[in-house]
Amino acid sequence: MGTVSTFTRLIALCVVLQGILLKETESSSTGGNTNNVFGKRLVQPLYCSSDQVLVEDSRYRSTQVRSKLECVGECRRDPNCRSVVFDVDLKVCHLGDAKAAEDCSNMNTAASPSLSFYQEPPPCGDKETMGPLGLCVCAPGYTGVPCQKYLHDCSDVQRNGEWQDTYTISPLQAPSPFQVNCRRVSSTRTYILDRRRTAESFTRSWQDYRDGFGSLDDDYWIGLENVHALTVDRDQELRVNIKVQNNSNYLLSYQNFRVSDEGSGYRLYFNTSALNSDNDCLEPLHGVRFSTYDHDRDGSGAVNCAERKKGGFWFSGSTCSVCNPMGVLYQPTSGRKLGVEGEATWDSLVGDVAIFKISMYLIPMLV
Ligand SMILES: [Ca+2]
């Protein structure tokens, strides 16, 4: 009877232990951009019955503890520990360097009530290392689940020689790691804006433009806070790629593209490239703050440019701008601009031709 009740308690303890450790794993995996806090695998403990203990010659350290839990914790913190025996009466924890057989067949009969615990350290992957509490965590320089190389932007992917569609990147000042589309064409691109369809609305609030919106599989804006982090981390070139009806490409380039922090209004900074025309419509917006319909920073008391243009952007004065990449994509069958307020435009480049697709991506500048 005593054996049965003790066994029941051991099972309960086992469940509690797993609950505690799994909870810890979950909470650490949603952390910030610290690169090696992502706990992963939990050691599966095996409990032998209470009247059996591991043979004494495997014990290499004994310590006074208050509970079974503390005894198991001692073992988890010790990389050499494969088993513990907890003496219930004396509250002594014996650490062993031999592991118990799964059927407990290598156990001796205990002289007093005790708990035997078996721990097989998990094999950690090549991007992992053994962390505290017997958990494999990402090795320094790696982050995420599963562990990936710590990436400042998409250009780091190329250096690793690996490839997939989307990556989790962690610019140093980003509030948390975030996913982005990386495409490798002639260079490796970090896409901050991608618009190919008409379904996603870009008439959005300040919060949406700050934090980002849309889907990486569809149309998205990566968020001003992330753009800020990407552009303070490294010197970046911004490229704007515009496609019109017949799939003709237009390309614009801005060197040293940078967006300031939220406190200063996400101001726009860049150097013009020789690629662009002399009267490029982004030119007058140098140093201007970002505006949304609910956060009017265009400098005009008479006009709410973001409301008029149906999208957030850097606007200035009552004329706002003829650059309106966040406006509505009508993709008209005529291929010509409809000429309505709020239409997506980049007049200095494509004039009266309608924009069908537009993307913005970053390429680190070689300095
Ligand atoms: Ca205004």
Q: What 3-state DSSP class applies to 189?
A: strand
Mean pLDDT of 290-295: 98
**281 CA from centroid of ligand 1 (Å):** 19
**What are the tens digits of pLDDT across the range 310-344?**
999 999 999 999 999 999 999 999 999 999 999 99
Mean pLDDT (the chain, rounded): 79
> In angstroms, what is the span from residue 310 Cα to ligand 1's centroid?
13
Q: How much distance in Å is there from the Cα of 311 to the middle of ligand 1? A: 13
Would the pTM count as exceeding 0.85? no
Alpha carbon of 161 to ligand 1 centroid (Å): 47
Report the separation in Å between the CA atom of 299 and the middle of ligand 1, taken as the mean of its atom positions: 6
For residue 20, give the H/E element and its range: helix 2-29
Q: Could you tell me the two tokens for 290? A: 């970002």
Cα(303) to centroid(ligand 1), Å = 4
Distance CA 285, CA 295 (A): 17
> How far apart are the CA of 306 and the centre of ligand 1, in A?
8
- Taking the centre of ligand 1 as the mean of its atom positions, its distance from the CA of residue 182, in whole angstroms, is 35
Whole-number Å distance, alpha carbon 356 to ligand 1 midpoint, is: 28
Instruction: List, in sequence order, every residue forming a beta bridge with 361; answer none if it has no partner.
Output: 191, 239
Once rounded to an integer, what is the mean pLDDT over residues 242-248? Answer: 93
Q: Is the pLDDT of residue 244 over 50?
A: yes
Q: What is the pLDDT of residues 3-34, one digit of tens each?
A: 333 333 333 233 223 322 322 232 233 222 22
Cα of 342 from ligand 1 centre, angstroms: 15
Predicted confidence (pLDDT) at residue 108 exceeds the cutoff of 50: yes
The mean per-residue pLDDT over the stretch 136-151 comes to 78
321 alpha carbon to ligand 1 midpoint, in Å? 12
The vertex-258 CA angle with 253 and 259, nearest 5°, equals: 125
CA of 244 to the centre of ligand 1 (A): 30
Kindly state the percentage of the chain with pLDDT values over 70.
75
CA 307 to centroid of ligand 1, rounded, Å: 9
**Residue 342: what pLDDT?**
96
Q: What is the pLDDT of residue 75?
A: 78
Span from the CA of 273 to the centroid of ligand 1 (angstroms): 29
Do 323 and 283 meet the contact criterion of CB atoms below 8 Å apart?
A: no
Q: Is the pLDDT of residue 1 over 70?
A: no
Instruction: Name, in order, each residue with C-beta under 8 angstroms of 345's C-beta and a sequence gap of 6 or more.
Output: 322, 323, 324, 327, 337, 355
Q: Is the pLDDT of residue 366 over 60?
A: yes
What is the predicted pLDDT for the residue at 160?
59
265 C-alpha to ligand 1 centroid (Å): 14
Q: How far is the CA of 294 from the centre of ligand 1 (A)?
A: 10
- CA distances in angstroms from 180 to 129, 234, 275, listed in the order given: 26, 17, 26
pLDDT of residue 52: 54
- Total count of residues recorded for the chain: 367
Residue that wins the pLDDT comparison between 22 and 296: 296
Distance 312 CA to ligand 1 centre (A): 12
pLDDT class of 133 with cuts at 50, 70, 90: low
User: Got the DSSP string for 252-287?
Assistant: EEEEEEEE--GGGT--EEEEE-TTS-TT-TTGGGTT
